[in-house]
């Protein structure tokens, strides 16, 4: 597009973070009451990305990491200045949260979820760029699920999260036994379990096995122990004790700070967990139509299954799993 009038160029960032499985966006309210994303004029010898990062820091004191693969631009006419403005936007993941507004131009800084941000933006061109950015982040950071209806398979599914266990090690594949409290929890849980199931499946990790064996004092069924329904493999963390971790905290890898494709050292990524569990779950319901199934497993596994059944975009930080020693009954 060619413009006869002057075109002023700016660059900005759509800053975001993920918390509890939801995307939150940073927006600014300018002193003229316009709500938008951090942006500003390109200075001499700056690249577009350098401008975007600098403006975000100057206006909000927030450091962001630009994510490759997204660049969107808009051009509009500014009648009061009799010129056009071209704005290029990038997507940036927030790395620091020490937010300080630039008093001269910024009235407030807001962190809003997608729906709130979309409603807060007044101009359609900003709404459009947010929609594109949100789709991009979903494709990058989440697994978008098509909702699975158990009724399509004529299946009743009861999900049990194992009882509390002796946390001597820190990894997901740690094979620690149920604690005394955990045994009490599962004995109470046993009374909530139905009297009959067609299929009884369990993770093969000790805490799930022991939970299943206590429940089976009521059911007297054959239990199928299936490693596909294990918790995430935390790699080298599986063999590190709590005491070792206290002496060497640098060994710790926080599950909730991982990107969805980031692997534990010598272990799985959250996406690996999703792929393993989703494949096993689809196989389970496809080959057991018309059955009533009891599955004993772990927080991460149940989270994947509940996302699939509810059609939620999967992210490992989504707090969706039930508490330990509980049963969730689904039809």
Looking at residue 144, its pLDDT comes to 86
Q: 325: alpha, beta or left, given left = phi > 0 and alpha = psi -120 to 50?
A: left
Among 64-73, 172-181, 271-280, the least confident range: 172-181
Neighbours of 294 (CB within 10 A): 26
In this predicted structure, what is the pLDDT of residue 257? Answer: 82
Which of 50-54, 83-87, 122-126 comes out lowest in average pLDDT? 83-87
DSSP state of 311: T
- Report H helices in 107-191: 114-120, 124-141, 180-190
Percent with pLDDT over 70 in the chain: 98
Q: Is the pLDDT of residue 3 over 60?
A: no
Q: Which residues pair with 19 in a beta bridge?
A: 22
> What was the pLDDT predicted at 5?
64
Residue 44 confidence class, pLDDT cut points 50, 70, 90: confident
Q: Tell me, letter by letter, the H, E, C secondary structure of 23-76.
A: EEEEEEEECCCCEECCEEECCCCCCHHHHHHHHHHHHHCCCEEECCCCCEEEEE
In order of 111, 161, 291, the CA distances from 198 in angstroms are 48, 19, 6
CATH class of 7-141: alpha beta
Whether 124 and 79 have beta carbons less than 8 Å apart is answered as: no
Which of 122-131, 268-277, 303-312, 314-323 is predicted least confidently?
314-323
CB 93 within 8 A of CB 17: yes
Q: What is the pLDDT of residue 202?
A: 98
Predicted pLDDT of residue 243: 85
Q: What is the mean pLDDT of residues 49-75?
A: 94
For the chain, domain boundaries: 7-141, 150-330
Segment 124-157, tens digit of pLDDT: 999 999 999 999 999 999 998 889 999 999 999 9
Residues for the chain: how many in total?
331
Mean per-residue pLDDT for 286-314? 96
Dihedral sign (CA 93, 99, 102, 103): positive
How would residue 104 be classed by pLDDT, with cut points 50, 70 and 90? confident
What pLDDT was estimated at residue 118? Answer: 96
* Better pLDDT: 266 or 171: 266
Q: How far apart are CA 240 and CA 169, in angstroms?
A: 6
Mean pLDDT taken over the chain: 92
For the 150-330 domain, the top CATH level (class) is: alpha beta
Q: pLDDT tens digits for 186-197?
A: 999 999 999 999
- As given in the structure block, the two tokens for residue 120 are 């807060």
pTM of the model: 0.83
Q: For 9-41, what is each residue's pLDDT tens digit?
A: 899 999 999 998 999 999 999 988 999 999 999
Per-residue confidence band for 236, with pLDDT thresholds at 50, 70 and 90? confident
| Separation in Å, CA 235 to CA 239, 280, 318 | 8, 21, 22
Q: How high is the pLDDT of residue 330?
A: 96
pLDDT at residue 97 in the model: 79
CA distance 235 to 221: 33
């Amino acid at each position: 597009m060619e413009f006869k009038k002057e075109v002023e160029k700016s660059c900005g960032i759509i800053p975001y973070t993920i918390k509890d499985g939801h995307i939150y966006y940073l927006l600014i309210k300018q002193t003229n009451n316009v709500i938008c994303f951090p942006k500003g004029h390109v200075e001499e010898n700056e690249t577009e990305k350098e401008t975007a990062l600098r403006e975000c820091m100057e206006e909000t004191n927030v450091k962001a990491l630009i994510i490759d693969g997204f660049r969107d631009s808009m051009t509009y006419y500014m009648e009061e200045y009799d010129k056009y403005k071209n704005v290029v936007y990038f997507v940036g993941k927030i790395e620091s949260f020490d937010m300080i507004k630039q008093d001269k131009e910024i009235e407030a800084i807001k962190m809003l979820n997608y729906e709130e941000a979309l409603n807060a933006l007044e101009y359609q061109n900003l709404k459009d760029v947010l929609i594109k950015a949100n789709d991009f982040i979903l494709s990058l950071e989440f697994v978008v699920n098509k909702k699975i209806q158990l009724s399509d398979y004529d299946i009743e599914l009861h999900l049990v999260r194992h009882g509390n266990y002796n946390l001597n090690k820190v990894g997901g594949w740690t094979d620690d036994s149920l604690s005394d409290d955990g045994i009490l929890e599962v004995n109470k849980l046993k009374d909530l379990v139905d009297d009959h199931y067609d299929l009884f499946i369990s993770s093969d990790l000790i805490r799930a096995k022991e939970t299943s064996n206590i429940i089976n004092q009521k059911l007297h069924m054959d239990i199928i122990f299936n490693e596909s329904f294990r918790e995430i493999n935390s790699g080298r963390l599986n063999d590190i004790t709590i005491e070792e971790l206290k002496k060497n905290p640098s060994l710790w890898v926080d599950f909730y700070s991982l990107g969805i494709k980031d692997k534990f050292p010598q272990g799985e990524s959250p996406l690996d967990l999703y792929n393993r569990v989703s494949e096993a779950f689809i196989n389970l319901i496809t080959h057991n139509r018309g059955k009533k199934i009891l599955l004993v497993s772990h927080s991460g596994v149940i989270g994947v299954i509940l996302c699939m059944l509810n059609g939620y975009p999967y992210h490992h930080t989504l707090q969706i799993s039930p508490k330990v020693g509980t049963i969730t009954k689904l039809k």
